[in-house]
Structure 1
Amino acid sequence: MSDSNGPAGGTGGALTALVRAVLDQPGMSFRRLAEAAVDPETGYRIGQTWLHKLTRGEVSRAPEPQVLRALAAGTSLPLTRVQQAAAEEFLGYTASELAGMPEDALVIVGHLADMDPTDLPQVRAVIEALLSKGDESSGKREV
């Protein structure tokens, strides 16, 4: 038996919340999510029953890697974000260096982790240009 925040018999945790948030989006349903949740590496498909169990906090074991890849594909979230949510919910592990960041920032960081390293300098240049533009409009200058 676990507490109300644990995976078994409770309300779930980070992965459960992530999937619930996707299901709360307009036009999304368990059926649509299950249809989209296909592991690109193995072709493994997540069933609606498993998704229902997850959202009710009835999944007691950490999902297999193919399930996490399928969830990432179905939710259109970076795989690293899905893996982090599963680690938090089922292993009690939280990446402390990302704790406290807004959800949008976590999604961006997750996408960066999955990018080709040769593309990262271009992304950095875009971010620096945006920051520079913000500094100019607020009257701040780099020293």
Structure 2
Amino acid sequence: MTGINAKSGQVLTGKLSDMVAAAQQAGTSYGKMAADSIGPAGERGMSKAFFQRLATGGVLTAPKPEELEAIARGIRKPIRLVKEAAASQWLAWESVELSGYDEDMRHIIIRAAAMAPRDRRRLRVMLDAAEEAERESPAAS
């Protein structure tokens, strides 16, 4: 999913903007993100307007570490994925751990890592079932 810069109409390739836009398009309002971004011990959160600007390309500088933590809370994603997405967007950095994989494999790994444990188990069962079905009746070549 990509965000769009509200002023220029430019499609964003930044992954953090994409993550926030995807969360909003999946039904989490910017207001809910802002409320959820406040830490359990009262750590500073981010505003509704900030999440909207981030999703639409209006945030031009990388958020600070404590802001990344608030964003992770707001979109309910692991902080590691949020940091990697921010590094990709503002520093053109790609995770070393995934650098040996093609774009499809990186996408699958990142999506699986962001899933709840129950959903990851379901994905694993589906992959195993697909592999077994392929072994039992291989496609005609």
Using the size of structure 1 for normalisation, the TM-score is 0.64
Deviations 1:35-67 (A, max 9, x none): 112345761211112112212212121111111
Could you say which residue in structure 2 is the equivalent of 1:108? 112
Q: RMSD of aligned C-alpha atoms? A: 3.5
Could you say which residue in structure 2 is the equivalent of 1:25? 26
Gaps of 5+ in 2: 137-141
Could you say which residue in structure 2 is the equivalent of 1:120? none
1:23 deviates by 0.2
1:97 deviates by 3.7
Q: Work out the CA distance in 1 between the residues paired with 2:84 and 2:57.
A: 17
Q: Work out the CA distance in 2 between the residues paired with 1:25 and 1:136.
A: 32
Summarize the alignment of residues 121-136 of structure 1 with structure 2, pairs less than 5 Å apart: 135-136=131-132
Pair 1:139 & 2:135 matched: yes
Residue 108 of structure 1 aligns with an amino acid whose one-letter code is A
Gaps of 5+ in 1: 112-122
Could you say which residue in structure 1 is the equivalent of 2:43? 43
- For the 8 Å contact 2:21–2:56, the answer to whether it is kept is no
Summarize the alignment of residues 46-125 of structure 1 with structure 2, pairs less than 5 Å apart: 46-95=46-95, 96-97=99-100, 99-100=102-103, 101=105, 103-109=107-113
Distance 1:74 1:109, change over 3 A: same
Q: Work out the CA distance in 1 between the residues paired with 2:77 and 2:48.
A: 19
- For the 8 Å contact 1:15–1:86, the answer to whether it is kept is yes
Residue 64 of structure 1 aligns with an amino acid whose one-letter code is K
Residue 20 of structure 2 aligns with an amino acid whose one-letter code is V
Using the size of structure 2 for normalisation, the TM-score is 0.65
Residue 82 of structure 2 aligns with an amino acid whose one-letter code is V
Distance 1:52 1:132, change over 3 A: closer
